[in-house]
Structure 1
């Protein structure tokens, strides 16, 4: 099975590297060839264009920053993909978008498997990120060896579109937890507690969360460097709001979180780290949340 990978950024880069290290026949392409240096050193082959990559592969994997980029790349490569080949989309798309793009691919005889991931870049680099699959069961089975190499736990959520829904739900929860964790740490700081000890106590308590364990450390370090931007957070929270309206579910907490992120993006810019949403509270109160002994990036 010959795999191709387009999009070697913060998330796609380590995912593609996992395939290289597992010995898969992998060709890679990115707008910036510098992003592919690790992969070429690990045995991947460079493709000079998306079209040449698609023509040389049985399966094309994309991990891209926005639905618009995914659509643009798909339109570019479809004419070069053979009938019966597979497109594995690891970008975060809305349900309607993945269904529409899969239909476009299907007109050329290309089958689609959606495969968004959750857990963070540090888990992708360790090969432990969670995979959320949507598509036909036989397609999941066909690519199971590659999926096992890409990440850790795999959940087949159902037909196409199912993974898009659960990915948006998990991200919505993460952003709510992030804002809440900032408020909790600020209460601890203003209450005169040692922040490092407070972080450890929360981690061992019923109030713990994955976000507290991971992004909480980056807040206390002050780097906020989670390798995920405000723009991406706003995109995912927008998807959640759309689902809330479509499914008739009032999303009060998600709505407040979306408003908070909107203010943070206005204050710090769309390229700012999503974790920096906590800076809104720090700046408003003139109180930082720094504590010694916490990493600038997660390993």
Structure 2
């Protein structure tokens, strides 16, 4: 029998991931602060836990993918009274690395297990099951969970002890921030040069500027619109975490300071819920 999964987090990433597990035949229990978020999954066969305690009691594996560190800490505090021995708790949020040992201790005191396993690959990766998980925690527990993670993504990379998955995600976000900012400036220059997206794609999509983010965002940045799959507010949160981590390791980053300033400006102008593509509109 497929194991029973508990799930918290039904945003742009979490919803399609939960749907994938339902299609794979897993009994799925869900909980959300806003019950309206659960309606679609209920129609697809998910069951609704009355509270976080019940969710923890019913789950063999419990997955969270939330907005920020505070959300994770709050949800885990609510889960704690219901934690059952040998349950695996997997947090896929981009969160502060210092939170992981605290969460792990909270869970292991009850005889259960904790992995931090944030993901990269975007909404398309969540829909198509092609995500990469960066995993911190016990390698044996990752091995136990590998078949389940393979239903959500194409790779699960063990990065070290608790907190290492969170840290690797911050490395990833630092790198992609440079790509986003460069792409935004390039698209602004392309507009000023009166290049259209067809010409840009023909000229650039096989060269050194090409890649997944170019393919995903070039047209949206040219237009300053389109689908919102990653928000300015979430990028700002991630970069603030990366900046704090760099300072903790006594490696302050001028780039991260600059990137946070740029995203702050975009948030102030367009709102934190606007898409990343609005970075290309700052000078317009």
Query: TM class by shorter-chain length?
Result: over 0.9
Runs of 4+ residues over 4 Å off in structure 1: none
Report deviation, 1:140. Answer: 0.9
Q: Provide closer, same or farther for how the CA distance between residues 260 and 227 of structure 1 changes in structure 2, counting only shifts above 3 A.
A: same
Report deviation, 1:164. Answer: 0.8
| Partner residue, 1:295 | none
| Partner residue, 2:197 | 195
| Partner residue, 1:10 | 12
Please, which moves more after superposition, 113-122 or 228-237?
228-237
Please, which moves more after superposition, 61-70 or 253-262?
253-262
C-alpha separation between the residues in 2 aligned to 1:247 and 1:203?
Answer: 37
Contact map agreement 2:184 2:277 (CA 8 A) in 1: no
Query: How is 1:50-199 mapped onto 2 (pairs within 5 angstroms)?
Result: 50-199=52-201
| Partner residue, 2:217 | 215
- Compute the TM-score of the two structures, normalised by the length of structure 2: 0.93
Deviation track 1:145-195 (CA, whole Å, cap 9, x = no partner) reads 110111222212122111111101111222221111111122222223333
Report deviation, 1:208. Answer: 1.9
Report deviation, 1:113. Answer: 0.8
- Compute the TM-score of the two structures, normalised by the length of structure 1: 0.88
Report deviation, 1:61. Answer: 0.9
C-alpha separation between the residues in 1 aligned to 2:85 and 2:155?
Answer: 30
Report deviation, 1:99. Answer: 1.8
Count of residues in correspondence between the two structures: 282
C-alpha separation between the residues in 1 aligned to 2:197 and 2:218?
Answer: 11
| Partner residue, 2:26 | 24
Deviation track 1:16-63 (CA, whole Å, cap 9, x = no partner) reads 111111111211121233323332333322222222111111221111
C-alpha separation between the residues in 1 aligned to 2:185 and 2:222?
Answer: 13
SS in 2 for 1:8: coil
| Partner residue, 1:275 | 277
Report deviation, 1:114. Answer: 1.0
Report deviation, 1:117. Answer: 0.4
C-alpha separation between the residues in 2 aligned to 1:264 and 1:162?
Answer: 30
Deviation track 1:243-273 (CA, whole Å, cap 9, x = no partner) reads 2222333423222111100111111222222
Q: Does 1:252 align with 2:254?
A: yes
Contact map agreement 2:228 2:274 (CA 8 A) in 1: no
Q: Provide closer, same or farther for how the CA distance between residues 38 and 126 of structure 1 changes in structure 2, counting only shifts above 3 A.
A: farther
Contact map agreement 2:65 2:92 (CA 8 A) in 1: yes
SS in 2 for 1:95: coil
Contact map agreement 1:133 1:155 (CA 8 A) in 2: yes
Match of 2:42 among 34, 40, 43: 40
Contact map agreement 1:215 1:224 (CA 8 A) in 2: no
Report deviation, 1:199. Answer: 3.1
Unpaired stretches in structure 2, ≥5 consecutive residues:
none
Unpaired stretches in structure 1, ≥5 consecutive residues:
284-299
